[in-house]
Amino acid sequence: MDVANRRISDQLHLMGQILEILDENPFKVRAYTRAAELIGRLATPVADISLEELESIEGIGTAIAQKVREMVEDGTFRELEEVKGRVPPGLVEMLALEGVGPKTVRVLWKKLHVETIEDLEKAARGHRIRALKGFGEKKEQGFLKAIANARRRQSDMRMTRQEADMVIGEVRQAMSEGTYEVAGSYRRGRSTIGDIDIVTVESPSHLNRRLRSIADEMIDEGERKSSFWCRGSRVDVRYTPSSTYGSMLLYLTGAKAFNIRLREIALGKGWRLNEYGIRDLARGTVHEFSREEDIFAFLGMDIIPPELREDWGEIDAALSHRLPALIEGSHVRGDLHVHSSWSDGSMDLEALARAGEACGYSYLLCTDHSSSLGVARGLDESALKRQSHEIEMVNRATSCQILHGVEVDILADGTTGLPSRVLKDLDVVVGSVHSAFTQETDLMTRRVLSAIGNEHVDIIGHPTGRLLGQREAYAIDMQRVIESAAETGTALECNASPYRMDIDDVHIREAVNHGGFISIGTDAHGPGDLAWMNYGVRLCRRGWAGPGNVINTLNMHDLLEWAS
């Protein structure tokens, strides 16, 4: 679509919407909306069409044709500016929210005096919207979600993997099975995602039409690529014939630094590599690749898993056939950080065991909070005793065994929130920092080192304490933590909650290099959260971790042995 036409179409559309907010003549509203659609579909730039030709298009009358000319020359038209002046400017901004049209805006404006997005947010939070006729609680929630999406779109905040999965779930509805792959940072398993990149062999004209139906807004629509907003996130789609699908997938998976290094390697052999294939510069022949694997073979290297493609040494390793064997989801025998309804989780112990069974696990480590900080309904010594009895009962009836652990607070002075007397009877103990986050680096580091040195603490939970998009990691010297944990054989957690992803790839890599152990825990508080294991596994792969580095691959007997 022509960009200038698009802008003109948008302005005509806006004119119709503002007239509707003002409750003007519905025929006039329809005339603008119709004209907007027609101009939006024109292949020829409007600037190249004469006034007479414009007027002759069915659905564009003399009046609107004049306004189109005005827009071509001035970028706007007088009547639009005039009606804009008759409504608070915030109303036009509200129209950009998903699920908010002129009728809604009018009602909110007239009945609740909502004039800005902030007003709308306040009204929704104050439950004032559900009182309106035809507006339920669901609509109220919808507004809040649309506002959050719009803000995310404006800021350059990266998505959590869970948010990315939601966007992809939506896009999937427009795509046909087996015709596409999600590439980019998502495919590389990164802890956060900037935008979603998709490679597809579908026909652009067909798919673009379907994408329009799921998009909040199209950014760009073409034969080679399209971009759009979906649930507040940007999605880029690249079209390719199946004969060059492998090259396009490789290119779009990146990372950029990896692509550049790989291109240099190819160039060293006299080949130019790009997203369409490999050209032999001496002979002038071009090789096309429908499969990514064949490109690696052509270059004489092993297939590099997407998670490793960062130019962190994987290219040399693949050339010399020394790539590490990475951990896989199927190696994982259990989750090592799960909360039950004994503290702030939603599952009782039986539900926990069943959820573990459904994942095919042989064990789940139940790690409810200790009571030391008086938060999140923590457990004290006697509660833990009672919990232990109940675990024994539940374990009789299920194939997935619940291991009795705790997530004990590492207090500001480095001692644990429960005494050794209590910790020594538990199967596996996770120690985490949940307070005094502002300690300076050395104090915080020594605090965590004391926990690592504590013979009863087996795992350090979410070691940097970051909450993605909300709280930075606390000041801590991770190098010292990693070295000390490797020396004592204490595992560092790879917390797979999409809100944490802590520790991240670089620290996992460092821990693996030091021969340290990693423990993956989802920090699940509900049954659906156990699925986050996959995020943790991918993060561990990014850190070059093999099954031997990750204690979740141990069978129950060996795990208990390891912890004792």
Which positions touch ligand DGT (CB under 6 A)? 184-185, 193-195, 197, 251-252, 254-256, 259-260
DSSP lists the bridge partners of residue 237 as: 198, 226
**SS3 state at 401:** strand
**SS3 state at 519:** strand
Task: Tell me the window of 192-200, 306-314, 421-429, 440-448 that interacts with Ca ion (CB under 5 A).
Answer: 192-200
Q: Which is nearer to Zn ion, 432 or 464 (CB)?
A: 432
Q: Which token pair is 486?
A: 């490797």
Binding flag, residue 340, Zn ion (CB under 5 A): no
Q: Which does 259 bind (CB under 5 to 8 A by kind): ligand DGT, Ca ion, Zn ion, none?
A: ligand DGT
Contacts (CB under 5 A) with Ca ion, residues 231-250: 236
Q: How far is the CB of 365 from Zn ion (least distance, A)?
A: 13
Q: How far is the CB of 499 from ligand DGT (least distance, A)?
A: 17
Task: For residues 563 and 336, give the distance between their C-alpha atoms in angstroms, rounded to a whole number.
Answer: 12
Q: Which is nearer to Ca ion, 186 or 361 (CB)?
A: 186
**SS3 state at 450:** helix
Binding flag, residue 197, Ca ion (CB under 5 A): yes
Binding flag, residue 519, Zn ion (CB under 5 A): no
Q: How far is the CB of 557 from Ca ion (least distance, A)?
A: 43
Candidates 334, 331, 330; CA nearest to 403 is 334
Instruction: Identify the sign of the CA torsion 285, 291, 295, 298.
Output: negative
Q: How far is the CB of 434 from Zn ion (least distance, A)?
A: 6
Cβ atoms 390, 378 nearer than 8 A: no
Q: How far is the CB of 126 from Ca ion (least distance, A)?
A: 37
Q: Which is nearer to ligand DGT, 114 or 193 (CB)?
A: 193
Task: Tell me the window of 112-120, 146-154, 184-192, 499-507 that interacts with Ca ion (CB under 5 A).
Answer: 184-192
Binding flag, residue 432, Zn ion (CB under 5 A): yes
Task: Tell me the window of 165-173, 183-191, 350-358, 365-373 that interacts with Ca ion (CB under 5 A).
Answer: 183-191
Contacts (CB under 5 A) with Ca ion, residues 493-522: none
First to last CA, the chain: 67
Q: Which does 148 bind (CB under 5 to 8 A by kind): Zn ion, ligand DGT, Ca ion, none?
A: none
Cβ atoms 116, 50 nearer than 8 A: no
Task: For residues 197 and 255, give the distance between their C-alpha atoms in angstroms, rounded to a whole number.
Answer: 12
Compute the C-alpha angle 319/322/324, nearest 5°. 125
Burial 103-117 (b: 16+ CB within 10 A, else e): ebbbbbbeebebbeb
3-state secondary structure 201-233: CCCHHHHHHHHHHHCCEEEEECCCEEEEEECCE
Q: How far is the CB of 189 from ligand DGT (least distance, A)?
A: 11
Binding flag, residue 184, Ca ion (CB under 5 A): yes
Which residues have C-beta within 8 Å of that of residue 260, sequence separation ≥ 6? Answer: 311
Beta-strand runs (E) in 468-528: 491-495, 518-521
DSSP lists the bridge partners of residue 494 as: 520
Cβ atoms 545, 327 nearer than 8 A: yes
Task: For residues 328 and 274, give the distance between their C-alpha atoms in angstroms, rounded to a whole number.
Answer: 30
Q: Which does 432 bind (CB under 5 to 8 A by kind): Zn ion, Ca ion, ligand DGT, none?
A: Zn ion
Q: How far is the CB of 196 from Ca ion (least distance, A)?
A: 6
**SS3 state at 465:** coil
Q: Which residue type is seen at 563?
A: A
Q: How far is the CB of 301 from Ca ion (least distance, A)?
A: 24
Q: How far is the CB of 554 from Zn ion (least distance, A)?
A: 22
Q: Which is nearer to Zn ion, 432 or 484 (CB)?
A: 432
DSSP lists the bridge partners of residue 236 as: 197, 227
Q: Which is nearer to ligand DGT, 76 or 192 (CB)?
A: 192
Task: Tell me the window of 264-272, 306-314, 425-433, 469-477 that interacts with Zn ion (CB under 5 A).
Answer: 425-433
Q: How far is the CB of 215 from Ca ion (least distance, A)?
A: 15
Q: Which is nearer to Zn ion, 227 or 432 (CB)?
A: 432
Q: How far is the CB of 390 from Ca ion (least distance, A)?
A: 46
Q: Which is nearer to ligand DGT, 42 or 193 (CB)?
A: 193
Q: How far is the CB of 84 from ligand DGT (least distance, A)?
A: 36
Give the interface size with Ca ion as a residue count (CB under 5 A). Answer: 6
Draw the binding track, 420-459, toward Ca ion (x: CB under 5 A; -: no contact): ----------------------------------------
Candidates 336, 345, 391, 349; CA nearest to 526 is 345
Cβ atoms 107, 114 nearer than 8 A: no
* Residue whose beta carbon is closest to Zn ion: 432
Q: Which token pair is 148?
A: 């959050």
Give the interface size with Zn ion as a residue count (CB under 5 A). Answer: 1
Which residues have C-beta within 8 Å of that of residue 89, sequence separation ≥ 6? Answer: none
Task: Tell me the window of 35-43, 326-334, 427-435, 543-551 that interacts with Zn ion (CB under 5 A).
Answer: 427-435
Q: Which is nearer to Zn ion, 143 or 499 (CB)?
A: 499
Q: Which does 391 bind (CB under 5 to 8 A by kind): Ca ion, ligand DGT, Zn ion, none?
A: none
Q: How far is the CB of 159 from ligand DGT (least distance, A)?
A: 8
Cβ atoms 184, 196 nearer than 8 A: yes
Task: For residues 88 and 154, give the distance between their C-alpha atoms in angstroms, rounded to a whole number.
Answer: 21
Q: Which is nearer to ligand DGT, 404 or 500 (CB)?
A: 500
* Residue whose beta carbon is closest to ligand DGT: 254
Q: At what angle do helices 117-125 and 102-112 cross, to 10 degrees?
A: 70
Residues that bind Zn ion (CB under 5 A): 432
Residues found near Ca ion in the complex (CB under 5 A): 184-185, 194-195, 197, 236
